[in-house]
Amino acid sequence: MDLTYTPEEEAFRARLREWLAKALPELPARPDPLDWPGRRAYDLGWQRRLYDAGYGSLHWDASPTRRLIFLEETELAGAPYVGANFVGLLHAGPTIAAEGTDEQRARWLPPILRGEAVWCQGFSEPDAGSDLASLRTRAVRDGDHYVITGQKTWTSHAEIADWCELLVRTDPAAPRHRGISWLAMPMDAPGITVRPLRTLAGPAEFAEVFLDEVRVPVANRVGAEHDGWRVTMVTLSFERGTAFVGEVVACRRTLGRLARTARANGRWDDPVLRRRLGRLNAEFTALWRLIQGNVGAAGAAGGVPGAGGSVFKLRYSQARQELYDAAAEVLGAPGALDADQEWTAARLSSLSYTIAAGTSQIQRDIIAERILGLPKGR
């Protein structure tokens, strides 16, 4: 057990803090949430600045401790979050780094790090959400290409993406987990139609993607043919293991702002509300320590986070919803009912956390079966 940083790590933190203090005031104004091209330009611009300053690859190839320092300091300074680069930096990038060939790494990783390419995630389908292995989008081999037909849905950032990490069925006759392959699909290929979906939170965050005989080179397959399920499990363990580190720090900051707001508007006099905020403080502090521990343990285990990510994801997604429910109580009516309030937007989007990236129910199954060893069944 050790929570101390080496002098080198502390020096890294100091340098980063100094750089952030100079870089952040020079950033352009944040674009409107509905302005997708604006959001793309803003997020890629920030990634480019990180890259030029030598911080571009900290999400995946640094030591776990440096990554933690990076995420903590950028969030404390109020720097932009990964945004449009989420899939590239936190899903596809680490997966290609872990499972791709040298050629594939050289081709796809530098543009992600330099802020030149946006990736989206083509996993879910209308009939393959939590039951991802029932996906039906088919890829038929035609020489050195796959010809792909099917439909993806809930595809985040599809509208502005250059590449898609796509799961396809390459062997319909094989058992359902064994006939799947992981492909990198260019989003400008003929035959792709993107139709934005409006979410309950208002703006379109994701889209339906229709694939009509889209040709993707066989060379774009990451991992062996039909071995895509295993590759996907690597991707998902990154998603559950480390992708939320920055958000936990953000939630702790939000909780502080919430307390200040409550003190200013008189809601602080309510002891029930105060106790609720105090308890959330304990919760987010523990979640931060848990994810620190997970990232450290993943580093020791060769970089791939373990099933502990499911433990974190479950409790965090609940705590995030409790945080914004508490925010509504602090604001009271009409504040909590005002759709233009920043809190309201965050409260609405928090509803997706217990569903996206594996529902809470699926995470509980994973914990019960893979960690606790309970029998399979329904």
Sequence-distant (≥ 6) Cβ neighbours of residue 14 within 8 angstroms: none
Q: Which of 149, 281, 341, 359 binds another protein (CB under 8 A)?
A: 281
Residue with the two structure tokens 């304990």: 282
- Length reported for the chain: 378
Single out the segment in contact with another protein by CB under 8 A; choices: 98-106, 177-185, 217-225, 280-288.
280-288
Single out the segment in contact with another protein by CB under 8 A; choices: 35-43, 102-110, 119-127, 356-364.
356-364
Q: Which of 31, 178, 210, 292 binds another protein (CB under 8 A)?
A: 292
Which residues ranging from 88 to 117 are in contact with another protein (CB under 8 A)? Answer: none
> Is residue 376 helix, strand or coil?
coil
Single out the segment in contact with another protein by CB under 8 A; choices: 114-122, 129-137, 204-212, 282-290.
282-290
Sequence-distant (≥ 6) Cβ neighbours of residue 252 within 8 angstroms: 281, 284, 285, 288
Which residues ranging from 216 to 255 are in contact with another protein (CB under 8 A)? Answer: 255
Residue 198 contacts another protein per CB under 8 A: no
Angle between helices 245-265 and 308-331 (to 10 degrees): 20
Which residues ranging from 309 to 328 are in contact with another protein (CB under 8 A)? Answer: 311, 314-315
Residue 277 contacts another protein per CB under 8 A: yes
Nearer to another protein, 30 or 275 (CB): 275
Sequence-distant (≥ 6) Cβ neighbours of residue 81 within 8 angstroms: 75, 246, 247, 250
213 has catalytic annotation: no
Single out the segment in contact with another protein by CB under 8 A; choices: 26-34, 123-131, 188-196, 270-278.
270-278
Q: Which of 101, 130, 193, 361 binds another protein (CB under 8 A)?
A: 361
- Give dist(CA 233, CA 321) in Å, integer: 26
Residue 71 contacts another protein per CB under 8 A: no
Return phi, psi of residue 253, to 5°: -65, -40
How many other CB atoms sit within 10 Å of the CB of residue 329? 17
User: Least separation, in Å, of the C-beta of 293 and another protein?
Assistant: 4
- Which of 239, 283, 329, 342 is the catalytic position? 239
Residue 304 contacts another protein per CB under 8 A: no
Sequence-distant (≥ 6) Cβ neighbours of residue 75 within 8 angstroms: 81, 246, 249, 250, 253
Enzyme catalytic residues: 239
